[in-house]
Amino acid sequence: MSVNASYPSAQPNDGFTLWLTGLSGAGKTTIALALEAELRGRGVRVERLDGDVVREGLTRDLGFSKEDRDKNIERVTFVAKLLSRNGVGVIASFISPYRDARDKARRETTNFIEVFVNASLDTCIKRDVKGMYAKAIAGEIKQFTGISDPYEAPEAAELTLVTDNESVEQSVARILEYLESRGLIAPVAVSAGAEVI
């Protein structure tokens, strides 16, 4: 994988902000959890910020209007900025439907990487064990992204994961490869005496 020459040189101890965006049910949290475990296993300092968890604490006062969604992402961006500039890898998994809010996160955080977790609406609906899409389609839930509220897909994400036909393991492997290519994490060392094929 080639590395864009416009990126500043990075070291494995530099922080980064890996921003997973996509519809509810696309696989953001599942990928983030698996990625977090892999990075911690490699000794990487990492913190995971997840939409549902953050709304239970940091942004519990906010609703789902565009203004409140923007405030939600603004607060998360502030946390990610503090962590990433102090050498922590941040995995942020949020629907974050608006490009302007994601662009602001890009400007304010260290080594921002936008990851579009892309799954079709039909796939997301099939994966919805909570029945949220069904309620939104029936009009019982207002301002639901992908149904009654828009989702502005990334136009130039660093990575696009098509989770309709890509396993969690494949998605995580692609993210790790990208982080290695940017010099943000060290490659896994081949143990002494191991056969290299």
The tokens describing 141, both together, are: 């839930």
Side by side, which strands form the sheet with 89-93?
Answer: 46-50, 89-93, 16-21, 112-118, 159-162
Q: Which residues does residue 48 pair with via DSSP β-bridges, in sequence order?
A: 91
Query: What is the Cα Rg of the chain in Å?
Result: 17
The CB density around residue 26, as the number of other CB atoms within 10 Å, is 28
Classify residue 143 as left (phi > 0), alpha (psi -120 to 50) or beta.
left
Give Dmax (Cα) for the chain.
Answer: 62
List 24, 84, 96, 171, catalytic entry: 96
Can you list the alpha helix ranges (DSSP code H) found in the chain? 28-41, 51-56, 66-85, 99-108, 121-127, 132-137, 168-181
**Rounded to the nearest 5 degrees, what angle is found at the Cα of 165, between the Cα atoms of 162 and 168?**
75
Whole-angstrom distance, CA of residue 85 vs CA of residue 80: 8
Instruction: Name residue 144's amino acid.
Output: F
Per the annotation, the verdict on 96 as an active-site residue is: yes
* Active site residues per annotation: 96
